[in-house]
Amino acid sequence: MRALPIAVTVLAAALTLTACDDSGGGGADKKKPAAASGTCAAGKFALEVGPGNTAPVAGDTGNIPVTVTNRGSADCTLKGFPGVELSGGGTSWPVAEQQPANPQKVTLQPAEAATFTLTYVRGPKGDPKKSAAAKNVKISLSAGGDAQSFPWTYGEVALKTARAPDASVSPFQTAGD
């Protein structure tokens, strides 16, 4: 009947471990408070676009890094992908999310930064069937959220279809990763 004392010892050890919390005291009812965080709201963050690795000629690929800095006084959370849209001449082209990608939730403390990358293929100049003559890029921290516009100075963007540029946006990641 040696199995019974071992089972009792294992059960007692398990109960003892579940009664501990991170404060060093006992008590199963004590819970560590969750970290306060919210979605990064308009006016509480700064965006910096570029400098980029510009695609010099049609068919080349360029990468434009974008840095998001938490300017608020509390933690904020970025989830998934930013919303990115190119526009020019009364037309807009939504930029697709990078596939395959496994976006992670990124929590930024005040003054911390995250990044994402806008990758595009340069299109032939002056051919509206093959290129998006983008003049601006609009960026929001969530699809459909408050957006900020910036001049697009990286040339025309190749089109996959009339409404789909040959471009993609990566998920958020902590700056420096």
The predicted structure's pLDDT at residue 14: 35
Q: Contact 84/169 with Cβ under 8 angstroms?
A: yes
Q: Cα–Cα distance between 164 and 96 in angstroms, integer?
A: 8
The predicted structure's pLDDT at residue 5: 40
Q: Is 43 left (phi over 0), alpha (psi -120 to 50) or beta?
A: left
The predicted structure's pLDDT at residue 64: 96
For the record, the structure tokens of 169 come out as 């946006």
Q: How far is CA 73 from the centre of its chain?
A: 20
Domains located in the chain, CATH noted: 39-174 (2.60.40.150)
pLDDT in tens, 122-154: 999 989 899 999 999 999 987 556 789 999 999
Q: Which residues of the chain have pLDDT under 50?
A: 1-37
The predicted structure's pLDDT at residue 177: 55
The predicted structure's pLDDT at residue 40: 80
Q: Cα–Cα distance between 122 and 62 in angstroms, integer?
A: 7
Q: Is residue 151 within a helix (H) or strand (E), and if so which, with residue range?
A: strand 147-151
Distances (CA, A) of 139 to 2, 11, 32, 64, 68: 67, 54, 36, 12, 11
Q: Cα angle vertex 104, ends 74, 40, to 5°?
A: 25
Q: Write the burial class of residue 124 (CB in 10 Å: 0-12 exposed, 13-18 middle, 19+ buried).
A: middle
pTM of the shown model = 0.74
Q: Cα–Cα distance between 170 and 177 in angstroms, integer?
A: 13
Q: Cα–Cα distance between 171 and 119 in angstroms, integer?
A: 12
Classify 8 as helix, strand or coil: helix
Indicate the Cα dihedral angle 42, 121, 131, 67, nearest 10°: 10
The predicted structure's pLDDT at residue 10: 34
